[in-house]
Amino acid sequence: MLWIGILLQKEVLLPLKYLDRAISASRDTGEFAIPHGLSDNEIRFLAATFQAVFDRRQQAEAQLRKSEARERAKSQELERAIDNLKKLQLQLIQTEKMSSLVQLVAGVAHEINNPVSFIHGNLVHAQDYIRDLALEESKSKHPQIEIHLESIAPKQVRVRIVDNGTG
Question: Mind listing the pLDDT tens digit for each residue in 119-131?
Answer: 888 888 888 888 8
Task: Judge whether 164 and 142 are in contact, CB under 8 Å.
Answer: no
- Whether residue 153 has pLDDT greater than 90: no
Q: Concatenate the DSSP letters of all residues of 96-124 into one string.
A: HHHHHHHHHHHHHHHHHHHHHHHHHHHHH
- Whether residue 84 has pLDDT greater than 90: yes
Helices 42-140 & 14-29 angle (0-180, nearest 10): 20
Question: Mind listing the pLDDT tens digit for each residue in 29-50?
Answer: 777 777 777 777 777 777 777 7
pLDDT for residue 94: 96
- Name the least confident of 16-20, 65-69, 116-120, 133-137: 133-137
Mean pLDDT of 66-92: 96
Task: Judge whether 133 and 117 are in contact, CB under 8 Å.
Answer: no
Q: What is the percent of the chain where pLDDT is above 70?
A: 77
CA distance 39 to 48: 12
Per-residue pLDDT band at 27 (split at 50, 70, 90): confident
- Whether residue 140 has pLDDT greater than 80: no
Cβ atoms within 10 A of the Cβ of 43, count? 19
pLDDT for residue 72: 96
pLDDT for residue 158: 47
